[in-house]
Amino acid sequence: MQQNQSHNGKSRRGGGFGTGVLIASIVVLSGTIYAIGSTAKTIFLAQEEEIIPIIAGSDLDQIPALMRGNLPSVTTSLKHGLPMREKPPRMCEMNEDYFEKLDRGLEQPTGYTVRNEYVRQYRDRRGFLNEREMRAAKVAWHYFEKFTQETTGLANSVGNYPSTTLWDTASYMAGATAAYELCLIEKPEFDKRMTQLLTTIKSLELFRKEMPNKVYHTKTGAKVDYTNKPGEIGFSALDIGRFLVWMRILKNRYPHLANTIDSVLLKWDFANTVDKEGLLFGAYVDKETGETVYAQEGRLGYEEYAAKGFALWGFKPLLAHRAEPFLTASIFGIQVPYDGRDPRVFHSQNYVVTESYLQDGLELGFDLPHDDTSPEWLHSDGWRAEFADRIYQVQENRWRRTGFMTARSEHNVKGPPYFTYDTIFSDGYPWNTVTPRGDYVPDHAAVAAKAALGLWALWETEYTDVLYDAIIELYDPENGMYEGLYERGQGRVAIYTANNNGIILTSLLHKVQGTILTPYTGDTEVWYTAFRDQDVRERRQYPDPPQESDWLPALRHSVQTQADF
């Protein structure tokens, strides 16, 4: 039987083998398919499980800015986790040793830091007010007591002339803040005055439904022209910028006024005020056609100060905050910076005066708008502080080399021409005193009271002591501080203005409290959240809360190392 099987020569495998192979093949194939499927499933399905949800305001948030209103504004304290500066107490609530504990940075080297911050050669003047200063503060405040209109709460710009600008209204806000912090008035009066003022400003008729008119009648609140007759002129970006600085100061210091303050600004249309490049624009009426003309406004000094006012509210005035184009004129060995835009082309003069630098130093501490942490002696807007040092130094040098006490600013005068730009440099000339139309009027050169006390507050030197003695008793107890002292010996500039008295009060407050602007301590603001459900924010170009990318840059310019003659 076995032979037969072998004899045939062929071995035949049974059908079970084939079946086994088939089964094996099927198994292998199925396994492969399963493996591939499992792998694919692992790969594709696992991706779905790892999606990160997009949180409003996070890095992945691509939703339009309209929805980002509840983001906090990014400041240095938020970015770097540093403690904010604290609002100082009112003078009457200060401990006696308050000033002994202040960090004044006396041991710090002068000059720029690696982050383009700047440490000035001289320090601020700090301390309690003495008797003479308190008397000056009371008299200066008396100007506002006397010349504030009961009907509107607006203060006259000049004596009893019932008109004002936003610039001078900011001076009134400065005066009221100083009066409260120096304990000249108490909170009820302060609140009453500010609430009435803000309510009036909110109800003011705007220039062509856009921004506040340049001038308003203080008794009626009507918009008027330069002759104080009903009419309209246009708006001034510089005036608005200063006003924004003081609205921010009030809002940060007194949160209970915040909603009122926001509601004032939320009536305005900023669409034509700050352009995409960050230049500031004012407006005027074309005499021929009656149409609105928008024109760039501001020159070196005022322009940067106003730009910072806008930046404090989230705008991005990048170009306006830049010093360029600027040139320098060598005066008494100091390279005095002035605006390089040619007046023959732009029809706007380049006045170099003290006031804009003083206001930056007193109110903003020569700091950038997003800086709420740096100490008093360190100025994050470095080049502004360095330029201010030059402005101070050239005036001291003039005093030392000619004997003329010098504290130059724009100021009113009694009688024609009623207003002068008493400049350090303008129109190609040093110590040029000119009228608004450009006439040279050296007889109106004066030591401006506001400039003198501003210099005294920010530069603690022998020279400012002299200025102080010249000015601190220059007042009429019935009307306020005089505008100044004529340089050529004609006596006092016998006129009283809101701006002069406001800046003097600010200077005195700065001695007690340092930089006037304090950090914002809330989370978000109505200013950033209002109208999110409408297109109003888009149309009026209300900004979003500034982020780090929106910060104005800290810059430096070449430093003068030796006298230049």
Partner 1 sequence: MRNLTPILTAIAVSFGTMTQAQTQQTDPNIVDQAPFASENAIIDTSIPFAIGAREAQQSLRGAFGWPTFQEGLVQGVYFRFDPDGYARFAPTPRLDTDVFEVICRPRTYSCMGRKGALSVILNSRGQMQLKIDDVQTGDRFFVSEGVSEIEVPERILQPLETQLELLLSSGGDLIVRRGDNEKDRISLSGFLAVSAYLRWVAARQDYSILPRGWPVPNAVGSDASVTQASTWQSPMPQPQNFPTGQNNLGQTQFQQAPQPLQIQVQPTIASSNQSEVDEVKSELKVLRELLMDRNQTSQAEQQNVPAQPAQTSQQAGMAGSIAQLMPQNATQQPVSDQIAALQRASAQIQADLQRLSQPVQHQTQTGLAQTTLNPTPQVQQTEKVMQAAEQSDRVVDPAMETAKRLQYLMTEIGLDAKTALMLIQLGEGEPQGNQAIATSVERPQPQEQQPVFQENVVAEILQELENDVLKQQQLKTSQIEKEIVMTEEEFVLLSQYFKSVVLDR
Q: How far apart are CA 165 and CA 217, in angstroms?
A: 9
148 binding partner 1? (CB under 8 A): no
348 binding partner 1? (CB under 8 A): yes
Report the residue from 158, 197, 245, 258 that binds partner 1 according to the rule CB under 8 A. 158
* Selected range binding partner 1 among 267-275, 386-394, 409-417, 526-534, rule: CB under 8 A: 409-417
172 binding partner 1? (CB under 8 A): no
Beta-bridge mates of residue 106: none
SS3 content of the chain, % helix, strand, coil (to 5): 40, 15, 45
197 binding partner 1? (CB under 8 A): no
157 binding partner 1? (CB under 8 A): yes
DSSP states of 136-180 as a string? Answer: HHHHHHHHHHHHB-TTT-PBPSBTTB-EE-HHHHHHHHHHHHHHH
The answer to whether 311 and 317 are in contact (CB under 8 A) is: yes
SS (H, E, C) 168-214: HHHHHHHHHHHHHHCCCCCHHHHHHHHHHHHHHHHHCCEECCCEECC
> Shortest distance, CB of residue 159 to partner 1, whole angstroms?
4
Residue closer to partner 1, measured from CB, 215 or 307 = 215
159 binding partner 1? (CB under 8 A): yes
Report the residue from 186, 346, 429, 539 that binds partner 1 according to the rule CB under 8 A. 429
**Looking only at residues 285 through 344 of this chain, which bind partner 1 when binding is defined by CB under 8 A?**
287
* Selected range binding partner 1 among 34-42, 132-140, 221-229, 375-383, rule: CB under 8 A: 221-229
H or E element: which one contains 234? strand 234-235
Residue closer to partner 1, measured from CB, 284 or 531 = 284
Report the residue from 186, 418, 490, 538 that binds partner 1 according to the rule CB under 8 A. 418
Please give the structure tokens belonging to residue 276: 């995409």
**Looking only at residues 507 through 536 of this chain, which bind partner 1 when binding is defined by CB under 8 A?**
none
Nearest to residue 423, comparing CAs of 414, 413, 433?
433
**SS3 (DSSP) at 520:** coil
**SS3 (DSSP) at 124:** coil
> Shortest distance, CB of residue 155 to partner 1, whole angstroms?
11
Residue closer to partner 1, measured from CB, 31 or 438 = 438
Report the residue from 163, 273, 359, 461 that binds partner 1 according to the rule CB under 8 A. 163
Residue closer to partner 1, measured from CB, 122 or 486 = 486
Distances (CA, A) of 437 to 146, 192, 229, 293, 297: 32, 40, 22, 20, 17
Q: How far apart are CA 319 and CA 303, in angstroms?
A: 10
Residue closer to partner 1, measured from CB, 246 or 468 = 246
> Shortest distance, CB of residue 175 to partner 1, whole angstroms?
16
User: Applying CB under 8 A, what is the total number of residues that bind partner 1?
Assistant: 42
CA angle in degrees (0–180, nearest 5) for 27-28-31: 85
> Shortest distance, CB of residue 500 to partner 1, whole angstroms?
12
What angle do helix axes 237-253 and 258-265 make, rounded to 10 degrees? 160
Q: Is the dihedral of CA 481, 484, 490, 496 positive or negative?
A: negative
The answer to whether 378 and 103 are in contact (CB under 8 A) is: no
Report the residue from 112, 141, 144, 167 that binds partner 1 according to the rule CB under 8 A. 167
* Selected range binding partner 1 among 320-328, 438-446, 511-519, 535-543, rule: CB under 8 A: 438-446
CA angle in degrees (0–180, nearest 5) for 47-51-54: 160
227 binding partner 1? (CB under 8 A): yes
Burial class (CB in 10 A: 0-12, 13-18, 19+), 404: middle
Residue closer to partner 1, measured from CB, 189 or 225 = 225
Distances (CA, A) of 227 to 164, 216, 232: 12, 11, 11
**Looking only at residues 444 through 503 of this chain, which bind partner 1 when binding is defined by CB under 8 A?**
478-479, 495
Residue closer to partner 1, measured from CB, 195 or 220 = 220
177 binding partner 1? (CB under 8 A): no
350 binding partner 1? (CB under 8 A): no
CA angle in degrees (0–180, nearest 5) for 156-160-162: 50
> Shortest distance, CB of residue 216 to partner 1, whole angstroms?
9
Q: How far apart are CA 531 and CA 527, in angstroms?
A: 9
53 binding partner 1? (CB under 8 A): no
Residue closer to partner 1, measured from CB, 145 or 427 = 427
How many DSSP H helices and E strands does the chain contain?
17, 23
233 binding partner 1? (CB under 8 A): yes
275 binding partner 1? (CB under 8 A): no
Residue closer to partner 1, measured from CB, 98 or 284 = 284
Report the residue from 76, 116, 412, 501 that binds partner 1 according to the rule CB under 8 A. 412
225 binding partner 1? (CB under 8 A): yes
Contact residues: partner 1, CB under 8 A: 157-161, 163-165, 167-168, 215, 225-229, 233, 284, 287, 347-349, 351, 410, 412, 414-416, 418-419, 421, 427, 429, 436-440, 442, 478-479, 495
